[in-house]
């Protein structure tokens, strides 16, 4: 019987990536190059809270900004502090950056805009722009300042699986910025991030914590 999570081109279905997250134990780390695209085009001051940190893949890239990166997750996945529900947070941060579970995206928006003092960035499907409910709630009331569309498709793989092929779903970084005007700017990442920041963990010496280590959030 064929694996239902696998596409003919060798990539895992984005929908399966998201549904696997609903159960907790399984997770699909964000490719490093997708986070590098964000930090090369958005500047952050102060700390950056990664509130769904998984195994720390995104957190370690964010540390290359030179910012302190507190990292938490609802589940224990080998990095950061477990047991933190971002939909009911007890703390805030200067900036918040994460790739949320698909079924919680709208809740993450509502929580993030309240608890980020400066910028709040979510990696979401580009199709998040669609929908009457989101048009009437999120985009008419608290629209993002910028939507950065990926020219290259992101493929999400289970932890430990060798990446092959490309994804079939378009993604974008949605950035809320307290210092920006109340309109939304649509922007595109230039092609080439996948090639520049591929697999290898090319972190600067001393700039990132080893696996399993993370900066704790202040109480």
Question: Is residue 143 assigned to a domain?
Answer: yes
Model pTM? 0.81
Tell me how far apart the alpha carbons of residues 208 and 59 are, in angstroms, rounded to a whole number.
9
Residue 184 sits in which domain range? Answer: 14-196
Question: Is residue 138 assigned to a domain?
Answer: yes
Predicted confidence (pLDDT) per residue in 129-141, tens digit: 999 999 999 999 9
We report the CATH number of the domain holding residue 44 as: 3.40.50.150
DSSP for 8-75, written as a single string? TTS-B-HHHHHHHHHTSS---PPPHHHHHHHHHHS---S-EEBTT-TTSHHHHHHGGGTS--BBEESS
Q: Number of structural domains, the chain?
A: 1
Question: Is residue 213 assigned to a domain?
Answer: no
What integer pLDDT is reported at residue 27 of this predicted model? 72
Question: Is residue 210 assigned to a domain?
Answer: no
Question: Is residue 21 assigned to a domain?
Answer: yes
Question: Is residue 4 assigned to a domain?
Answer: no
Residue 182 pLDDT > 80: yes
Residue 10 pLDDT > 80: no
Predicted confidence (pLDDT) per residue in 110-169, tens digit: 999 999 999 999 999 999 999 999 999 999 999 999 999 999 999 887 666 666 667 789
In the chain, DSSP finds a helix count (H) and a strand count (E) of: 6, 8
Burial class (CB in 10 A: 0-12, 13-18, 19+), 158: middle
């Amino acid at each position: 019987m064929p694996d239902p999570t696998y596409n003919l081109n060798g990539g895992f279905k984005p929908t399966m990536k998201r549904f696997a997250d609903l159960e907790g134990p399984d997770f699909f780390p964000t490719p490093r190059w997708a986070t590098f695209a964000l930090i090369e085009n958005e500047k952050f001051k102060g700390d950056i809270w990664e509130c769904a940190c998984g195994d720390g893949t995104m957190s370690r890239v964010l540390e290359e900004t030179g910012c302190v990166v507190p990292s938490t997750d609802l589940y224990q996945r080998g990095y950061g502090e477990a047991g933190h529900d971002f939909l009911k947070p007890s703390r805030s941060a200067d900036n918040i950056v994460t790739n949320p579970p698909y079924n919680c995206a709208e809740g993450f928006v509502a929580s993030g805009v309240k608890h980020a003092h400066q910028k709040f960035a979510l990696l979401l499907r580009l199709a998040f722009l669609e929908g009457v409910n989101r048009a009437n709630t999120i985009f008419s009331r608290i629209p993002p300042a910028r939507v950065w569309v990926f020219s290259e498709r992101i493929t999400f793989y289970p932890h430990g699986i060798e990446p092959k092929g490309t994804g079939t779903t378009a993604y974008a970084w949605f950035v809320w910025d307290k210092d920006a005007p109340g309109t939304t700017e649509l922007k595109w990442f230039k092609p080439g991030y996948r090639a520049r920041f591929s697999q290898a963990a090319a972190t600067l010496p001393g700039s990132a914590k080893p696996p399993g280590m993370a900066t704790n959030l202040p109480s």
